[in-house]
Chain A
Amino acid sequence: MTELSSTQPVTENRPSALREFWYYFSENRGAVIGLWVFAGFVFCAAFAPLLAPYDPTEQFRDHILQPPAWQEGGSWAFPLGTDPLGRDMLSRLIMGSRYSFFVGIVVVCVAVTGGVMVGLLSGFAPKWVDTLIMRVMDIVLAFPSLLLALVLVAILGPSLTNAMIAIAIVFQPHYVRLTRASVLAERQKDYVTSARVAGAGKSRLMFITVLPNCLAPIIVQAALSFSTAILDAAALGFLGMGAQPPTPEWGTMLAEAREFILRAWWVVTFPGLAILVTVLAINLMGDGLRDALDPKLKRS
């Protein structure tokens, strides 16, 4: 008993969870850079109409396929040049950040909510329900994600919303498996037993006792699937199965620009660069999150 009381003051001196998280997160320089770039991306997405110099669908017929400002023939009126219809590339890219951000948020929210629910259920349900759920997830995982998303979009009809739904469905099994694995590990521990002995009901055990302790890997996975969602949505857009023209979605912009690749490098380069930088920033952040949240990798 004396030992218990002597540990009391130590726990009070512990830094707050957020502080501790930041300490580990900021040790990874790449992660901090990623965070800044991501913040810039979110800022772009939030204030796109204010930041974009022109309307993204406005066509300047006199300035078709104008190169970027620093190249011969370019002008600072269109810093990144114009596309084959005379639309300002910069404005379209800035507006495009909105779609990518939206895709990431919606897909991650839907996939996490659904996946965590099913995973929790699977971890707590009787064995046969668990087996059934895991077999269904195996079946979904047997299909390559992009292919399944493509086919789902073929069923639902090509649009950005349907692409998001398809990608969210495809991502679901990862969260189910991840949550179930953590739940099974946590359920063995003494604090769960003591909560059960104290009379906690099943739903309290699931959501209040166990779930918070399973969140770390789920958060890391959420960050990583944010970037995968952006990539997949762009890929679907590129194949003509995502956002439809004239939506300034980055993948769709690339698809529209394909026939001009040898004549106008800028219409192809910039949208892809935007995707790459965003995805890279999020992945850098995800690596940092894993270092900070995963207790197994934490240096004690």
Chain B
Amino acid sequence: MFGYLLTRIGLFVPTFLGVTLISFMFIRVLPGDPIIVMAGERGMTEERYQEMVEKLGFDKPVLQQYWEYLAGVLQGDLGESFVTKKPVWEEFFSLFPATMELSLCAMIFAIALGLPAGVIAAVNRGKFFDRALMSSALVGYSMPIFWWALLLIIVFSGNLGWTPVSGRIDLLYYFPNVTGFMLIDSLLSGQEGAFASAVRHLILPTIVLGTVPLAVIARQTRSAMLEVLGEDYIRTARAKGLSPTRINGLHALRNALIPVVTVIGLSVGSLLAGAILTETIFSWPGIGKWMVDSIFRRDYPVVQGGLLMIAVIVMLVNLLVDVLYGIINPKIRRR
């Protein structure tokens, strides 16, 4: 197990270096001079320009620039935003809880509905339930989520007036930021209605972001279950006279979960990609919206830093999934 862990972490390091290289290159392959872009329409004097070149290190050899960038990254220095002048690292972590909260809720939503749907479909293979569930799953899988979000807004916010259209909480409420998770903070604040307001803000974005993972999990669970249900030990369990619920829920699902867990882990990347669209539509103040806004504002250090941080998060989660997978499934470890 230790050797497996070591090789897996050994793979992490070159990938991490490559990711930093890509984010380092990003600002340098942009068309135009980033310093002039930063100056905006006012322009800048020749002296100020030279000053900026020196400050950003553009006058040094590229290799040295990369080395300094890498050293900075490892110490949590991702540069400063052109627009807010705040460190990118700080901005990232002040916004990250919002994305994290949304993604976690979406994932819980997807797992809570997707797992049972997949199991029910597999158990009723070929029957009406299976067809209905799998057709819906395919529709969910094919859904353009930005359109799905607009439809939900039309119905639930526009026509029914049940949910708000944007933000994380009503402006009425104000409380200190303790955990960064609105659901927890609103409870801690003890203000009446704050928690309900946070929940109402969260519902639509959660559904939108969770739709595609939900479909993927349902499909994956079904096929994994079907595979497991054909195994000999299931036949043995049946022959022993165990109840179908016990067989499906305990014996089959446990082994079917292995590929499903992998799919859940690997969907973190697509979840973050979905967060870009979801957050933009619902004005959710998280990483995705921050990235899109920064791209439009040409706030290149933010785009660069955000790109790197998101990639590192995806890599860390993948590493975690691989390690967990090695623990669950000894066959992988020995390969």
Contacts and interface: CB of A to CB of B under 8 A. Distances in A.
A205 to B, nearest CB: 27
B144 A231 contact: yes
Given A144-B273, A283-B141, A254 B146 contact: yes
Interface stretch (B18-26, B73-81, B182-190): B18-26
A269 interface: yes
B133 interface: no
From A144, A239, A241, residue with most partner B Cβ within 10 Å: A144
From B147, B270, B292, B311, residue with most partner A Cβ within 10 Å: B147
A142 B138 contact: no
Contacts of B154: 261-262, 265, 268
Given A150-B292, A155-B26, A254 B147 contact: yes
Interface stretch (A4-12, A55-63, A210-218, A274-282): A274-282
Contacts of B94: none
A154 B303 CA distance: 10
Given A135-B18, A144-B273, A279-B142, A150 B147 contact: no
Contacts of A241: 295
Given A231-B144, A261-B154, A143 B310 contact: yes
A143 B295 contact: no
A272 interface: yes
From B146, B296, B315, residue with most partner A Cβ within 10 Å: B146
A136 interface: yes
B289 to A, nearest CB: 11
Contact of B26 (A144, A151, A279): A151
Chain B interface helix/strand/loop/mixed? helix
A273 B142 CA distance: 11
Given A146-B277, A235-B144, A239-B292, A155 B150 contact: no
Interface string A126-163: 00000000011011011111110011001101000000
B122 to A, nearest CB: 15
A150 B310 contact: no
Contacts of A238: 146, 277
Contact of B18 (A136, A146, A151, A275): A136
A146 B292 contact: no
A169 to B, nearest CB: 12
B147 A271 contact: yes
A234 interface: yes
Contacts of B21: 139
A157 B31 contact: yes
The size bracket of the interface on B is 35 or more
A172 to B, nearest CB: 14
A258 interface: yes
A275 B147 CA distance: 9
Given A151-B303, A155-B31, A276-B143, A144 B150 contact: no
A184 B304 CA distance: 36
A258 B307 CA distance: 27
B291 interface: yes
Interface in B234-265: none
B115 interface: no
Interface string B271-307: 0111011001000000000011001100000010001
B151 A269 contact: yes
Contacts of A261: 150, 153-154, 158
From A147, A151, A269, A283, residue with most partner B Cβ within 10 Å: A147
A227 interface: yes
B14 A272 contact: no
A283 B147 contact: no
Contact of A150 (B138, B142, B150, B295): B295
Contacts of B15: 135, 138-139, 142
Nearest to A139: B18
B277 A144 contact: no
Given A139-B15, A142-B19, A155-B26, A239 B280 contact: yes
Interface string B299-335: 0000100010011101100100000000000000000
A45 interface: no
Nearest to B159: A262
B257 to A, nearest CB: 22
Contacts of A273: 147
A99 to B, nearest CB: 14
Given A138-B15, A262-B158, A283-B142, A143 B311 contact: yes
B323 to A, nearest CB: 16
B120 to A, nearest CB: 19
Contacts of A135: 11, 14-15, 18
22 contacts: A30-B135, A135-B18, A136-B18, A138-B15, A139-B15, A139-B18, A143-B311, A143-B314, A144-B273, A144-B276, A145-B273, A146-B273, A147-B273, A150-B295, A151-B26, A155-B26, A231-B142, A234-B146, A235-B146, A262-B158, A276-B147, A283-B142
Interface of A: 30, 135-136, 138-139, 141-147, 150-151, 154-155, 157, 227, 231, 234-235, 238-241, 251, 254, 258, 261-262, 265, 268-269, 271-273, 275-276, 279-280, 283-284, 287
Given A144-B310, A261-B158, 16 more contacts: A30-B138, A136-B18, A138-B11, A139-B15, A139-B18, A142-B19, A144-B276, A150-B292, A151-B295, A231-B142, A234-B146, A261-B153, A262-B158, A272-B144, A273-B147, A284-B138
